[in-house]
Amino acid sequence: MPRFALLIEYDGTPFCGWQRQAAEPTVQAAVETALRRLEPGAPAIAAAGRTDTGVHAAGQVAHCDLGRDWDPARLVEALNHHLRPAPAAVLRAAPVPEGFHARFSARARHYTYRILCRRAPPALARGQVWHRRQRLAVAPMQAAALHLLGRHDFTTFRAALCQAASPVRTLDRLEIEEVALPEGVEIRFHLSARSFLHAQVRSIVGTLERVGAGAWAPDRVRAALAARDRAACGPVAPPSGLCLMRVDYDPDPFS
C-alpha cells in the first residue's frame, strides 16, 4: 500500500482543531473526506501536530496510505478539488517509505505566534493575530524568554488535560521580534522544539505578554517555570495568533 506525505496549510478559524471529532468540523475529517472521494477505503491519516481549535498551519504534515500509486501532482490537484470550499489546501504530496510517520519521524516543529499592537482592530488579519490596543515592551520579554530555553520540566506551561507521559521538553528556539507596520507594530514569537506539550506555546506567549505589558518582571517567568505548577502560569494566549510553520524530517520528503 503506497504511503504519501502531504504538506498542508489551513486557516484554523472554522475548525475544531486537527483531530477528528464526532459531529464537529476538523481538518483531519476534511482531508480524510477528500481522500475517500478518491479511494473509498482509504484509512485514517496521521499528522505531525494536533493543532487546537482556531490554530492555523502553513506547514502541517500528514501521511496517508492509498491503494494505488498516485502521481503526486495529480494527487494534490484531486485532493484540493474535493477540499473546496474548506479553507485548507494540500501544497505538496510525496511518496515516502512505509516506516515514515508524520508524527514520530519528525525531528523538529516550528511555530510562530503573532500579536498585533494598535488601537484599530484587525480587518485583513482578523482571526490570524492576537489584537492588543497597547504596545508591548520587547526587551523585557526577550530577557524573560531566556529562562525558558533548553531542557526543563514545563509542567507550569502545559494544559491541565495534557496527556503527554512527561512534562520535560527541550525548547531549542524562542525568539521575539518587533515588526513595524504602517499602523502599529506586530510582535512575533518564533518557537522550535522536537515536540511541544498541549498548549505549551500559547501558555508561554500568554505569560511573556504579561512581562511585555509591565505586569510581570522578567524573573517571575523563571520562578513560574521552577514552580512546576499550572497555577503559576500567566493567561493562555488565544489560538488565533498561532501557526504551525514547518516540520523538519531527515530526509525531507518534499526536497
pLDDT in tens, 165-190: 999 999 999 999 999 999 999 999 99
Contact 224, 155 (CB under 8 A): no
Residues 67-93: what's their mean pLDDT? 97
Res. 1 pLDDT band, cuts 50 70 90: confident
**How does pLDDT run across 128-147, given as a tens digit for each residue?**
999 999 999 999 999 999 99
Query: How far apart are alpha carbons 3 and 70 in whole angstroms?
Result: 10
pLDDT averaged over the chain? Answer: 97
235 and 120 within one domain: yes
Contact 252, 48 (CB under 8 A): no
124 and 76 within one domain: no
Output the pLDDT for position 74.
98
Q: Report if residue 227 sits inside a domain.
A: yes
Q: Residues of 111-123 as b/e, b for ≥16 C-beta within 10 angstroms?
A: bbbbbbbbeeebe
Residue 96's identity, in one-letter code, is V
For residue 183 the three cell numbers come to: 499602523
Query: How far apart are alpha carbons 154 and 229 in whole angstroms?
Result: 9
140 and 44 within one domain: no
At which of 76, 105, 134 does a domain end? Answer: 105
Active-site positions read 52
Residue 86's identity, in one-letter code, is A
54 and 128 within one domain: no
| Entry pTM | 0.97
